Structure 1
Amino acid sequence: MVGSPCALCRQAKKLELSHIVPKFVIRYLKKTSVVAIRNMQNPNKVVQDGEKHYLLCGDCEDLFSIYETKFANTFFHPYMKDNIKEFNYDSNIYYFLTSVSWRSLYLDILDFVEHSQELGLDTETLDCLIASEKEMRNYLLKNQSTANGIEHHIFFFEDIKNITNELVETRPHTTFHRGIVSYTFFNKELKTYATITNMMGIILFTLYNKGQNEKWINTEIINGTGVISAENQIIESVCINELVEILNNAKKAVLETSDSQKEIINNRVKDKLEEFKNSKTFEDLKKDFNL
């Protein structure tokens, strides 16, 4: 696609279809799924790939791919395949996280500007998001050494033993461990604006403005070296509401799945019953059943 400038470098080059959630996450989801992947907004539709947009030129895609590989090899696959719970990181991981949230923020701002009135989006909030996108873009282009005012937090959705009764039916383990989503949200009253990205249970919150009295313990990834663990993490923030929203949307998707599609899914499971019994999906379903 030629004509529109690259969203990152702003040069008029041929644009490529860019994944919003990195491709290695989608590839792993497909590899470990017995049944077809479905669109959460339209559960009766089978999808072959994650959300993509003509966003970046080839050079910027190649730049991002370097950091995607580093995150995949040091965080994602060790956590998913080897049950590693503690990770040493450096500034490459901060860069990767910035690149992921920037993609969603950039596209969401376009939508927010077009529909600001119906979304109830005030000028102060929109100005903050636009300024954050510019800050992140300049950092990603390596025009500056960090993305000032931006906080990245990783929350690992580990196994849970109980949950409120109204959320049991949302199948939390299955929803987060077998799900992919990324979007920007805002709470005008509490002044918290952020992008959330779920990468199969590795959940990234990028904060552009943080309300008062929020508590984030053992979750932040700084622009430097550090250690993060999938244990003893505490979040007290309006951002938790988004996790509940994701769960409720998953429950809604199940209810909206047609009988014919349910039959297709059931037949697929029957045809590959032994494979299904040994799958990560079945593991998560058992955990959800025991809540």
Structure 2
Amino acid sequence: MNKCRLCHEEKKLEESHIVPKFLGKWLRKNSATGYLRSNEAPNMRRQDLFKIHLLCKACEDLISDDESYFANTIFHPYMNRPEASYHFAYDERLIRFCAGLSWRVLVYLTEHLNDEDNIEIQKYKLKLENFLLKKIPNLDQYEQHIIPLELNSQSPLNIKHSNVNSYFFRSVDIDLLDLKDERIIYIKIPNFIIIANINYKYISKMRASRVALKKGIIAPKNYYLPIEMYNYLDDRLTFIKENINDEISDVQTQKILEDIKKDPDRLMKSDTLKAIKADHYSSLSKPSK
């Protein structure tokens, strides 16, 4: 028996996914090989996203309900839409999904990877715990934001990097960003960026992406990212290209090729290939020097 990290009761703990399980299943189903590889361990192929013993069954079920709502109402309809336009209405379960995800990510990053004890982080965790347990009705300054990403969309990052689409469309990434002693939680899932505010003073500029407490719409808008976020993504994309992609061993490269040879049709139908083509198209579209 251990103490559940959410309700703090002594109970048997479930294996909890930090990032929802359905995202790993979607990535694997639509991949060229049927396996997952993380940015942190590119030479290890996996069949699931990372999970740890974190929550009791009751709390796991509570969060899973919100994940199912996001999957069925936003994620899958967005990914399967027949045309570029989109307009998805949501209710209070979306902010619960974002809050549950950002809380789990922060607990994992600060308590399991790093032993970080910061008063602002502790206040954030407590606020979200009470919100998820339905003890309080709102999150006040701890806003949750969601930004849809488009395959083939153009941004300043495309001009500099040849892996933007692969990163945005085919990866999962999490981080706690320190922006000059102001902090936000960064979560990148396929085709969405989720940002949770801890104490970033310019968060009001991101109003277009703010998740409403009761109901709202996810549709094309003039989404705003702080310049610090662009700088972070610039560094992150460079790191992935130079320090991760180039680290895949010859043995693992051969395994990838063997998987593709076994089922070439899977490659041709995969989202992996779509992302690679989008990156190639973006590189061809760059202005010549």
Q: TM-score, normalised by structure 2?
A: 0.88
In structure 2, the partner of 1:92 is: 93
The equivalences for 1:128-207 within 5 A come to 128-158=120-150, 159-161=152-154, 163-164=156-157, 167-169=160-162, 171-187=163-179, 189=180, 191-207=181-197
**Partner in structure 2 of residue 110 of structure 1:** 111
Aligned residues: 277
> Deviations for 1:121-170, whole angstroms, at most 9, x for unmatched residues?
xx7xx21111011001011111110122211111112122464577423x
Cα distance in 2 between the residues matched to 1:153 and 1:20: 18
C-alpha distance in 2, partners of 1:165/1:225?
Answer: 33
Does the Cα contact within 8 Å between 1:85 and 1:231 map onto a contact in 2? no
Match of 1:221 in 2: 211
Corresponding residue of 2:29: 31
Bigger mean CA deviation after superposition, 139-148 or 214-223: 214-223
Cα drift, residue 111 of structure 1: 5.1
Following TM superposition, by how much is the alpha carbon of 1:259 offset from its aligned partner in structure 2, in angstroms?
1.8
Matched, 1:265 2:266: no
- Displaced runs of 4 or more, over 6 A: none
Judged with a 3 Å threshold, the aligned counterparts in structure 2 of structure 1 residues 90 and 273 are, in CA distance, closer, same or farther, namely same
Distance in 2 between residues matched to 1:20 and 1:12, nearest whole Å: 21
CA contact (8 A) 1:64 1:99 kept: yes
Per-residue CA deviation, residues 71-103 of structure 1 (Å, 9 max, x unaligned), is 111100001122562221111111111000000
Distance 1:222 1:164, change over 3 A: closer
Flag the 1:280–1:215 CA change in 2: closer, same or farther, 3 A: same
Q: Which runs of 5+ in 1 are unaligned?
A: 117-122
What is the rounded CA distance, in whole Å, between the counterparts of 1:162 and 1:286 in structure 2?
A: 17
Could you give the per-residue CA deviations for residues 36-62 of structure 1, whole angstroms, max 9, x where no partner exists?
A: 211211211111211111000001011
Q: Secondary structure at the match of 1:98?
A: helix
Q: CA RMSD, aligned part only?
A: 2.1
Structure 1 range deviating more: 236-245 or 270-279: 236-245
Calculate percent identity across the aligned residue pairs.
29
Q: Per the alignment, in what secondary structure is the counterpart of residue 96 of structure 1?
A: helix
Specify whether residues 274 and 231 from structure 1 end up closer, same or farther in structure 2 by C-alpha distance, changes over 3 A only.
farther
Cα distance per residue 1:212-271 (max 9 Å; x no partner): 487325211121111121443222342333333442342121111112211221232233
Which SS does the other structure have where 2:10 is aligned?
A: coil
1:238 is paired with a residue whose SS is helix
Instruction: Choose from 218, 228, 247 the match for 1:238.
Output: 228
For 2:287, the equivalent position in structure 1 comes to: none
